[in-house]
Amino acid sequence: MSLAVAHPKIDLERLSDEELVEIARQGGENAIRLLVKRNNRRLFRVARAVVRDDAEAEDIVQETYVSAFTKLDSFRGNSRFSTWLTRIALNEALGRARKRRPAAELAELDISDSANGGSVIMFPISLKPPGADAELARKQVRDLLEKAVDELPDPFRLVFILRDIEERSTEDTASQLSLKPETVKTRLHRARRLMRLAVEKQVSATFSELFPFDGARCERMADRVIDRLRSVDKS
């Protein structure tokens, strides 16, 4: 792929991901940057749901983009571009997780949860932090929720991230995780049960802010992907 800046008269922001992919196939650097920014948060959340580490999740996202943009010919358009990217990220994350520790069979986790009725993650009775600083309060609640999500069993955590945080449909989640829709519904139910209902009710509005990936961090990812792709061109 030979990178080039897209024609300035084209309003890329109005184009769909699939239309941007066609420009990216021709080496459109601006189209690539926009695709990266549009998909950063979802890919980061999915990767982090598997590896539970910010730095490694960010590395997985970068490798996902490099792999995707150097093999755009393999994207046939049978699914949405975002779905295709998510599968690449998920495979990369799961591959790393398997190297680090033995992978538990998802069915075994389901059976175990069903047998013991599901463990309950305990939260403080009061979520009100000391002081009146609203931003500090939001951060403390977000940290509390992120810790709770991290403690969910792997298959439940992935479903919870995609359904309740990314707000993906049951069918889309099932497709991305190669599961039956009924299995997605069951795991989501169990994941929600592990998250205390009281906490979920009080801070559900904060779910959209979990594991943020925006601002300068988002811009840097686009820069790194472009630099990597340029290196591939030279090799």
Q: Can you give the pTM of this predicted structure?
A: 0.66
Q: In a 3-state reduction of DSSP, which class is residue 4? A: strand
Q: Are residues 229 and 198 in the same domain?
A: no
Residue 22 within any structural domain of the chain: yes
CATH of the domain at 83: 1.10.1740.10
Residue 6 within any structural domain of the chain: no
* pLDDT tens by residue, 50-61: 999 999 999 999
Residue 4 within any structural domain of the chain: no
pLDDT at 119: 40
Q: Binning pLDDT at 50, 70 and 90, where does residue 41 land?
A: very high
| Cα–Cα distance for residue pair 162/139, rounded to 1 Å | 22
Residue 7 within any structural domain of the chain: no
How far from 209 is each of 42, 90, 126, 222, CA to CA, in Å? 12, 21, 21, 21
Number of domains, the chain: 2
Q: Are residues 161 and 221 in the same domain?
A: no
User: Between residues 127 and 231, which one has the greater pLDDT?
Assistant: 231
Q: Are residues 132 and 172 in the same domain?
A: yes
Cβ partners under 8 Å of residue 111, min gap 6: none
Q: Are residues 150 and 117 in the same domain?
A: yes
- Residue 64: domain span: 12-100+214-234
With a cut of 70, say whether residue 70 has pLDDT above it: yes
Sign of CA dihedral 213, 4, 17, 8: positive
Q: Are residues 176 and 90 in the same domain?
A: no
